[in-house]
Structure 1
Amino acid sequence: MWLVAEDKHVEYAQEVFSIDQSQDGKKLSLLCPTSKQYRRGNSLNQPTLTIDIEAVADGIISVEATHWKGAARKLPNFELFPDGPPSVDASIKNGDAGTTISSGPIAATVSSNPHTFDIRFHSTDNSRKLTSLLDRSVAFAYSPPPGSMMQTGDARDFQHYILTQTTLGVGEQIYGLGERFGALNKVGQSVVLWNADGGTSSDQAYKNVSFWLSNKGYGIFIDTPQRVELEIGSERSCRVQTSIEGQRLKWYIIYGPTPKDVLSRYTTLTGKPNSLPAWSFGLWLTTSFTTEYDENTINGFLEGMRNRDIPLAVFHYDAFWMRPFHWCDFEFMASHFPDPKAQIKRLKESGLVSKISVWINTYIGQASPVFQEAADKGYLLKRKNGDVFQWDLWQAGMGIVDFTNPDACQWFRSKLDALFDIGVDTIKTDFGERIPTKDVQWFDKNVDAERMHNYYAFIYNKLVYEALQDRCGKDEAVVFARAACAGTQRFPLQWGGDCESTFEAMAESLRGGLSLGLCGYSFWSVDIGGFEGYPDPTLYKRWVQFGLLCSHSRLHGSSSYRVPWLIDDDDKTSQGCTAVLQKFAQLKCRLMPYLYSESLEAVKNGWPLSVRAMSLEFPEDRTAWYCDQQFMLGSKILVAPVFDESGEVEFYLPSGRWSSFWDASQTIDGPKWVKEKHNFETLPLHIRQGTILVVGKEGEKRTNYDWTKPENHEVRMYEPDGESSFPLCDPEGKLVAILRTTEDHGAWRVENIEVRVR
C-alpha cells in the first residue's frame, strides 16, 4: 500500500479540482491535480489527470482517465454497439452529496467535499452500492523514475502507464476475463490479458477478454485490445487494479442487477452471438492432429461409427490434409487425397456424414508457392525494414497474413471460396495468438502493433465467419475457433484448446468454459478425451459424458485417434467406450428440442447455453458462485461431470426439488450437497422443478429433424406448477407453439395455448 516498486514513479489524482458538464447532460469532465490545491501556487509544475464520465446506454457508464490528451488514439479499436447505439436516459444533478450523473438504472456521484477524490458508482435509486474510485485510485506512472521532469521531454527513454483501482467489497468475487483455467473466482490473482498458445494448464490463455463480472451486480469492460494487467485483490486486497501502457485508460461499468442482466448489456455493447444451425450440435469426429490418415482411414472411421450406431454430424480434416512445411496453403496433399472434391461428394452421398470441416490458420510456410504469391503481392506482415516478417516457429520460414490490407483479405477469402467449391461446409480457425509486436509494420500504418496482438483474433475469425455466411447463409455459418478477444462471441463457436488427457485437465477445461461463458459466449466445445496424451477407457468415457453435454461436441486428439473402439480394444459391453459414446450421442439428439430453444434464448441475451455457470441461474445462492465442477445446460438441466476413476461425484443442488433425468421418480430437495456413484451409463443429470421438457423419441439419431411433430417428440413434466412453460421452436428458429401447464381436477396436463403460422 505504501511501498512503490523501485523502478516506478507514481502520481495519483489527489482531488477533483473542477467539473465540466456537457450541455446534453450525458458527460462530466473532471480535472484532477496530483497534489492538493490549497493555494494558487500549487497549480504550477504539477501534473493533472482528466477523468471523463459519460452515460452511454441505459445501465452503462464509461470512465476514461487521461494524462496527456495530445497522445495519438491508436488503432485498432473494438467494434462497439455493432447493432447501433441504444437510447440513453441520462441526467446530471447537483446536490449536497455532490454531482451525480445517471444512465438509466446506474449512476456515478462525484463528492462535493473540498480537496477530496471520491467517485461512487451505485444504482440510480441508491438501493445498491457497486464500486468506487477513492483516494490513490487513479494514477499514471513512469518507469524508470525520472530524476527530473525535464527528462520526460524525450519520452522514448520511459515507459508510461496509467492505472485505476476500483474498490473490492467485503465478500466480493470476480469472474470472467476470458477462458481461464485456474480458479473460477479471480480474487487473489494477477491476470495478464495477452493471447498466448499455452495449453490449458497455466495462467496463459488463448482467449483473453477484457471483461469481468462481479457477484455484486455489475461488470467492467476494459476498452482496449492491448496488453492489460490486473491485480485482483492481489496488490491491494480491497481493490481491483487495471493498468496499461499508454496515456489513457477507458472502461465501462455495466449494471445488472442480476448477472444475466449484466451479460445482456455487455453483449449489447460488444455484440450478441449469432445463432448456429441445428446440425452443428451433433457429434464432430476428427482425424486428430499428427496421426497418419488418408481417404481409406477416413472411410474406415466413418463406416465404423455407422456400424456401431453412433450418429455423426461433421467430419473434420485436421492439419495434415495439407503437405508438411506448406501450412497453410489450402492445397490438399495429392498423395493422400488425389481428388478431394470427389471424396467429399462420396462421403455425403453415402450418408456417412452430412458436413465437412477443414483446419486452417493464417501462417504460411515458405516452402509453399502460396507464400511467394502472398509475399510478392504484399499480403504478409512485414518488418520495419521492409522484409516479410518470418520465423521458424510452427512452420519453417512462415509468414503471417496481414488482414489490415483489404486486398489480402480478399485474397484469403478467395482461398476459402475454393474450399467451399469442393464441398467444405465449416472451418476450424486455429491459432491467431502468436502475433509479434516487435519490429513489425502492418499494411495500415495507423495500426499499433501492441493493440493488434489480441485484436488479430477478431479480424481473423470475423473474415472467415462472414465468408461462410456469404456462402452458406446468415444462420448456417459455423467456425471452430481457438483464439479470441472481446467481441468474437459474435462469430461462434469457440473450443477450449490443447488440454491434456487427464481428469485434472478435464476440470481445467470446464473452468475455462465457465469463465468464457461469463463473458457472453453462448457456445463452447472441448477436445473429448483430451488433446495431449492417450486417454484410458475410464477417462475417455467420463469425458464423452461431459463433452456430449456441452453445446458442441468434438472427438479430437493430438497423436492418437479418438474413435471409441481403439480406446478399449472394441469392448462391446454396455460399459464399453462404444456403448457410452452411442448412448450420449443419441441423448444429445433427443435433447435437441430443448437445446435449440435454449440456444435461441442464449443468443438473444448474450448468455452461455452450455457450459453455464450456476451463478447465472441462482445469483442469490452464495454457494452457487463457488461451483466450478458442475454447470447448467440451459436454464433447466444441471450437469455434474464425474472427475474420479471410482465414479464417485459430489455436487450441489440449489433450492427447489430436482428430478433425475434417468428416473423422474428419484427427486432431491435442495439446497443440498449430494454424493453419488455412477457407472458409465449415467452421470448426475437433474431437472429443475417446474420444467416442461420436450425431447426427441427414444433412438433418435439426428440433431436436425422436425422435432415439432408429435410423432417425433415426447413431453415430460417435472414437478410442474401454474407458471411452467416451454417455447417449442423448429430447427429454423421459428416459434411453433408455447406449451403451458394447466390444472385438471388436481392433476397437471400440458396444452398448446399459442400456435403461430410457420
Structure 2
Amino acid sequence: MKRTNYQLIDFLDFDPAFKGDEFLWKCGEPLAVREEQGDAVIEIPFQRQKAQNDLEPDTDCPVQMAKLRIRAYGDKILRVAFGFENAELPGSEILHFHTDVQQKTLKVIEDTDCWKIQTADGQLKASINRKAFQLDYWSDLLPAASKGLELVLYPDAEKEIRISAYDQFFPARHDAFALAYVEKEGETRCTTLSFHCEADECFAGTGERFTKMDLAGQTFQLKNQDGQGVNNRRTYKNVPFLLSSRKYGVFMHTSAYSKFSIADHSSRSVQLMSEEPVLDLFFLGGDTPEEILYNYRCLTGFPTKLPLWSFGTWMSRMTYFSEEEVNEICRRLRAEDFPCDVIHLDTGWFRTDWLCEWKFNPERFPDPKRFIKNLREDGYKVSLWQMPYIAREAEQCEEALQNKYMCILEQSEKQGGSNFSALDYAGTIDFTYPKAVEWYKGLLKELLDMGVLCIKTDFGEDIHMQAKYHGMEPEKLNNLYGLLYQKAAYEVTKEITGDGIVWARAGWAGCQRYPLHWGGDSACSWDGLAGSLKGGLHIGLSGFGFWSHDVPGFHSVPDFMNSVVPDDLYVRWTQFGVFSSHLRYHGTSKREPYEYPAIAGIVRKWLKLRYAILPYLVEQSDKTTQTGYPVLRALIFHHANDKMCWHIDDQYYFGDDMMVAPVMNSANKRDVYLPEGEWVNLFSGGQLTGGKWLKNFDCPLDEMPVWVKAGAKITVYPEPVSNTDEMDFARTEKLVFDQTYSGLGNSILANLLKVQK
C-alpha cells in the first residue's frame, strides 16, 4: 500500500477508500473511577466514528463502555490494561514474575478537578484531569472540541507519562489517539494507545534492530521473520519493549502482530498498536537504563548462568560433512595453537544435507558416541544444528503427522525464509501441544545422551501460517514460537547435561531466559559488521543478556557461497568477537584461521587474548544474570545523561570497565568518542580524560581501540591454554589500570600475546 501520511490509513491499516466494513471507536472523557481488588478501574465511553479520514461521531451508534484497569507492582512498575473484564489479568509464557513483583493496593481520591490514584503509602501513580477547557470564545467556524482521556501515569511516582489526549490539527483530524480500537465486520481488529513524547526525546530497544541508536522518527512492525541479513527492516527478534531517554520503559505484553510508531506518524506521540482486542501495558520507572531493564526482567525473566566452556572459541562453517573432516580440523587447531572449546556441526551431519532427522549419517559418522567422546577428551564440546520444520522426506514425518506433533496444513504452503535446500517442509513442530514438546525433547535426548552439549535452535522466526496448531492461532503463535521452541531445547539440555544452553536465532520477550542468541545471517562486509553491532546494542537494550554473531559474517558478497573473505575483515570481526559475550566462527565458506595464512598469527594472538580475559567475562556474565545489564552494553547504560551517547551505535561497553570501538573499514582509522572519566588505552597504556572525540584515531590491524576505566582491576588468566578444561581460576591475576600500567605488551600477558608468524 502506498503511504498516505494519514494516521488511520498508514498506522491503523484502514482501507484508503474506506470501503471496508471497519470503524474507529474513539475514547471520550472518563465517566467514573473506582477501587476494585486493589486496582483502580476507570470507566471510559467509546463513540464509533464514521468511516472517513476526518473524524465525525456516528451518533446513530450507541456509546460503548469499556474499562481501563491500573495496577501497581512495587514502587516502579505500573500496569495499564484495556479490554479485560475480569480483575485477574492474563499471564502467559512471556511473563515470568520475580518474587519481588508484588501488587500494591491502589486508592482513588476524587475531587471536582482531578481524580488521583495512589498507593496506600501515598505514592501518586496516576491522575485524571477533570477541569473544563479554558476558552476565549470568538468563533464557531469549527465544531467545539470534546474532552478526551487526560490521563497521566507516574510509574515511579515522579516521571510523567501523559496519554496523548489531543494530538490533533483540528478536532476532526488526529495524528494519534489516546485510546481507541478498530472494529471490522463486528469484531475488534486492533487496539491502540498513544502517549506524549518530548521534542528531544530519544528511544532504544524494540528487539534486535539493525538501525541507528535513537529510534525516534521510525515506525516498526513487530513481526518476527527471517532477517536474511542485518541491514534491513526485517529482524529475527522483535521485542515489544521501548526505553526512553527520559528514563522510563514501556513493555507491551502480547505476542500478536504489533506496531510501534516512535515520534513518527506524529512527532508528539509514541503510538502502540496490537492486532487484538485488548492492551496489556507495563510502564517501568527507574533512575538508570539498567534499573529499568532490571524491572523489565523482573516481569519476563533473567538470563541464566552459562557454562565456562561456552565462553571459549566456537568453530563452525556451513557445513562439516564427516567425522574425518571434523577430526582433521580439530587436530589442526590444536597443532597450530588456536585455542578452541566447541566444534559445531551445521546442516551436514544427517544422511542428506539439510534433511533434519536428528540422526547422524551412519556412513560418514559410523560411531557418533565414540566420535564425540574422542573430541571431548581433546577438550572439544560438540554443538549440533537442527530446525523445527519437518521435511516430507524425513523419517519422522509420518509419525509427526499421525500424532499431530506438527501443525496440520490447511492448504499447501511452502515454508519461507532462508531455506538453502530443495526440501519441502511438511509442517512446523507444534510446541503449543505438550505431547509434541515431549516427543521433540526425546529426539534431542538421544543426542545429548551421546555427549552432545548444545543444540542450535535455528530458525523459528517463521512458521507455517495456513495451518492449525493446538494452542493458538498462527497469527498469535508466530512471534511467540521461538520462546516455546527454545524453552523445550533448553530444558532437556539442562536436564541431561546439567547446563542450560541453546544457540538460538529467533526471539521475543522472555527468550532471554533461554540463552544464548546470535544475530543471524550477516554479510561478510563492513556493512554486515556495522549492522551486527547495531543489532547487538538494541537487543541488549531489550532485556537480552548474552548475544553473539557469526565471525567474519555468514555469507559472502557478491557470490553468496564463494566470494573470498578479505583478511582485514576477518581480523577486525575476530576482534569484535573477542569482545562479545560469545565467539563463534561460522559461515558459508572456510572459517578456520589457518585458512588465512597471512593473518593467522594475528588471529592466534586475539584468540589467546580472549582466553586471557575469560575470568573477567565470567564475572560480568554473573552480573548479567542478576541485574539489568547485558554483557555487550550500549554506552547509555553508563552515560544516560550524555546526549551524545544516545546517538552512538558503533561503540559499546564490554562489561563494567572496558569500552570497545571496533574498526569497520580498511583504512585502519575511525572516530572514537570517550565519555566522561579517565581512560587507559589497553594496548599502549596511554591515559586520556574523556568527554571528547578522538578524530581519525589510527589503529594498526593487530590492535583495536579499547579503553579501560582508570583504576579498574581486570581479572585475567596469564597462562596459555588450548581450551577451558585446562583453566584453574585459582591461578588468575589482576591486571591493574593505574599509573604503573604501560601497555599490554609490558603486562603480565606480554609473553602470552606475542604474535607468531
Question: TM class by shorter-chain length?
Answer: 0.7 to 0.9
What is the TM-score of this pair, normalised by structure 1?
Answer: 0.84
Q: Counterpart in 1 of 2:115? A: 99
Q: Could you report, residue by residue, the CA deviation over 1:624-680 in whole angstroms, capped at 9, with x for unpaired residues?
A: 12111011000110011000101102111111110011233x101011111321122
Contact 1:636/1:691 (8 A) holds in 2: yes
- Output the CA distance in 1 between the equivalents of 2:627 and 2:425: 44
- SS of the residue corresponding to residue 192 of structure 2 reads strand
Q: How big is the shift at 1:407? A: 1.6
How many residues are treated as equivalent by the alignment? 678
- SS of the residue corresponding to residue 625 of structure 1 reads helix
**Which stretches in structure 2 are left out of the alignment for 5+ residues?**
10-15, 50-57, 133-146, 167-175, 557-563, 741-757
Q: Counterpart in 2 of 1:661? A: 682
Contact 2:198/2:268 (8 A) holds in 1: yes
- Output the CA distance in 2 between the equivalents of 1:612 and 1:542: 19
Q: Counterpart in 2 of 1:374? A: 400
Contact 1:92/1:99 (8 A) holds in 2: no
Shift of the 606–260 alpha-carbon distance from structure 1 to 2, 3 Å rule, reads closer
* Mapping for residues 68-79 of structure 1, pairs under 5 Å: 77-79=92-94
- Output the CA distance in 2 between the equivalents of 1:700 and 1:292: 25
Q: Counterpart in 1 of 2:707? A: 686
Q: How big is the shift at 1:186? A: 1.3
- Output the CA distance in 1 between the equivalents of 2:577 and 2:395: 39
* Mapping for residues 593-632 of structure 1, pairs under 5 Å: 593-609=615-631, 611-632=632-653
- Output the CA distance in 1 between the equivalents of 2:308 and 2:715: 16
Q: Could you report, residue by residue, the CA deviation over 1:566-617 in whole angstroms, capped at 9, with x for unpaired residues?
A: 23xx22xxxx1x12221121112111221111111111013201x2100001
Contact 2:35/2:106 (8 A) holds in 1: no
Q: Counterpart in 2 of 1:30? A: 43
Q: How big is the shift at 1:365? A: 1.1
Greater mean deviation of Cα atoms: 316-325 or 186-195: 316-325
- The one-letter amino acid paired with 2:79 is S
Q: Is 1:441 equivalent to 2:476 in the alignment?
A: no
Contact 2:636/2:642 (8 A) holds in 1: yes
Contact 2:709/2:737 (8 A) holds in 1: no
Q: Is 1:134 equivalent to 2:165 in the alignment?
A: yes
Q: Counterpart in 2 of 1:636? A: 657
- Output the CA distance in 1 between the equivalents of 2:360 and 2:180: 53
Shift of the 298–456 alpha-carbon distance from structure 1 to 2, 3 Å rule, reads same
- Output the CA distance in 2 between the equivalents of 1:139 and 1:118: 11
Q: How big is the shift at 1:719? A: 6.3
- Output the CA distance in 1 between the equivalents of 2:65 and 2:464: 34
* Mapping for residues 218-229 of structure 1, pairs under 5 Å: 218-229=248-259
- The one-letter amino acid paired with 1:164 is L
Shift of the 81–112 alpha-carbon distance from structure 1 to 2, 3 Å rule, reads farther
- SS of the residue corresponding to residue 302 of structure 2 reads coil
Shift of the 102–535 alpha-carbon distance from structure 1 to 2, 3 Å rule, reads farther
Contact 1:59/1:106 (8 A) holds in 2: no
- The percent identity for this pair of structures is 28
- Output the CA distance in 1 between the equivalents of 2:278 and 2:566: 52
Q: How big is the shift at 1:325? A: 6.7
- Output the CA distance in 2 between the equivalents of 1:305 and 1:464: 29
Contact 2:115/2:129 (8 A) holds in 1: yes
- SS of the residue corresponding to residue 230 of structure 1 reads strand
Q: Is 1:411 equivalent to 2:424 in the alignment?
A: no
Contact 2:33/2:40 (8 A) holds in 1: no
Contact 2:225/2:236 (8 A) holds in 1: yes
- Output the CA distance in 2 between the equivalents of 1:2 and 1:302: 59
Q: How big is the shift at 1:19? A: 1.1
Q: Counterpart in 2 of 1:348? A: 376
Shift of the 33–141 alpha-carbon distance from structure 1 to 2, 3 Å rule, reads closer
Q: How big is the shift at 1:298? A: 1.4
RMSD between aligned residues: 2.7
Shift of the 244–719 alpha-carbon distance from structure 1 to 2, 3 Å rule, reads farther
Shift of the 206–392 alpha-carbon distance from structure 1 to 2, 3 Å rule, reads closer
Shift of the 100–479 alpha-carbon distance from structure 1 to 2, 3 Å rule, reads same
Q: Counterpart in 2 of 1:460? A: 485
Q: Counterpart in 2 of 1:749? A: none
Q: How big is the shift at 1:458? A: 0.6
- SS of the residue corresponding to residue 260 of structure 2 reads strand
- The one-letter amino acid paired with 2:602 is V
Q: How big is the shift at 1:90? A: 4.0
Shift of the 3–561 alpha-carbon distance from structure 1 to 2, 3 Å rule, reads closer
Q: How big is the shift at 1:689? A: 2.6
* Mapping for residues 476-491 of structure 1, pairs under 5 Å: 476-491=499-514
- The one-letter amino acid paired with 2:399 is E
Q: How big is the shift at 1:29? A: 2.6
Which one of 169, 173, 177 corresponds to residue 198 of structure 2? Answer: 169
What is the TM-score of this pair, normalised by structure 2?
Answer: 0.84
Contact 1:273/1:606 (8 A) holds in 2: no
Q: Could you report, residue by residue, the CA deviation over 1:487-530 in whole angstroms, capped at 9, with x for unpaired residues?
A: 00000000000000100110000000000000111111000011
- SS of the residue corresponding to residue 484 of structure 1 reads coil
Q: Counterpart in 2 of 1:744? A: none
Contact 2:337/2:604 (8 A) holds in 1: yes
Q: Counterpart in 2 of 1:580? A: 602
- The one-letter amino acid paired with 2:736 is R
* Mapping for residues 261-272 of structure 1, pairs under 5 Å: 261-272=291-302
* Mapping for residues 49-128 of structure 1, pairs under 5 Å: 49-66=66-83, 77-84=92-99, 86-94=101-109, 98-102=114-118, 107-114=125-132, 115-122=147-154, 125-126=157-158, 128=159
Q: Is 1:201 equivalent to 2:236 in the alignment?
A: no
Contact 1:19/1:29 (8 A) holds in 2: yes
Contact 2:717/2:729 (8 A) holds in 1: no
Q: Counterpart in 2 of 1:238? A: 268
* Mapping for residues 641-720 of structure 1, pairs under 5 Å: 641-664=662-685, 666-675=686-695, 676-703=697-724, 708-709=729-730, 711-718=731-738
Q: Counterpart in 2 of 1:422? A: 450
- Output the CA distance in 2 between the equivalents of 1:485 and 1:109: 32
Shift of the 641–110 alpha-carbon distance from structure 1 to 2, 3 Å rule, reads same
Q: How big is the shift at 1:369? A: 1.8
- Output the CA distance in 2 between the equivalents of 1:42 and 1:342: 77
Q: How big is the shift at 1:685? A: 1.0
Shift of the 55–702 alpha-carbon distance from structure 1 to 2, 3 Å rule, reads same
Which one of 567, 572, 583 corresponds to residue 542 of structure 1? Answer: 572
Greater mean deviation of Cα atoms: 224-233 or 50-59: 50-59
Contact 2:73/2:104 (8 A) holds in 1: no
- The one-letter amino acid paired with 1:109 is S
- SS of the residue corresponding to residue 561 of structure 1 reads coil
Contact 1:218/1:262 (8 A) holds in 2: yes
Q: Could you report, residue by residue, the CA deviation over 1:177-203 in whole angstroms, capped at 9, with x for unpaired residues?
A: 110112222111110111101221211
Shift of the 95–678 alpha-carbon distance from structure 1 to 2, 3 Å rule, reads same
Q: Counterpart in 2 of 1:13? A: 27
- SS of the residue corresponding to residue 321 of structure 1 reads coil
Q: Could you report, residue by residue, the CA deviation over 1:197-252 in whole angstroms, capped at 9, with x for unpaired residues?
A: 12212111101111111111111111110100121111111111111222211111
- Output the CA distance in 2 between the equivalents of 1:22 and 1:343: 63
- SS of the residue corresponding to residue 468 of structure 2 reads coil
Contact 1:375/1:388 (8 A) holds in 2: no
- Output the CA distance in 2 between the equivalents of 1:355 and 1:531: 22
Q: How big is the shift at 1:33? A: 3.5
Contact 2:161/2:195 (8 A) holds in 1: no
Shift of the 592–364 alpha-carbon distance from structure 1 to 2, 3 Å rule, reads same
Which one of 307, 311, 316 corresponds to residue 335 of structure 2? Answer: 307
**Which stretches in structure 1 are left out of the alignment for 5+ residues?**
145-151, 721-758
Shift of the 635–85 alpha-carbon distance from structure 1 to 2, 3 Å rule, reads closer
Shift of the 378–42 alpha-carbon distance from structure 1 to 2, 3 Å rule, reads closer
Contact 1:687/1:718 (8 A) holds in 2: no
Q: How big is the shift at 1:56? A: 3.1
Q: Counterpart in 2 of 1:364? A: 390
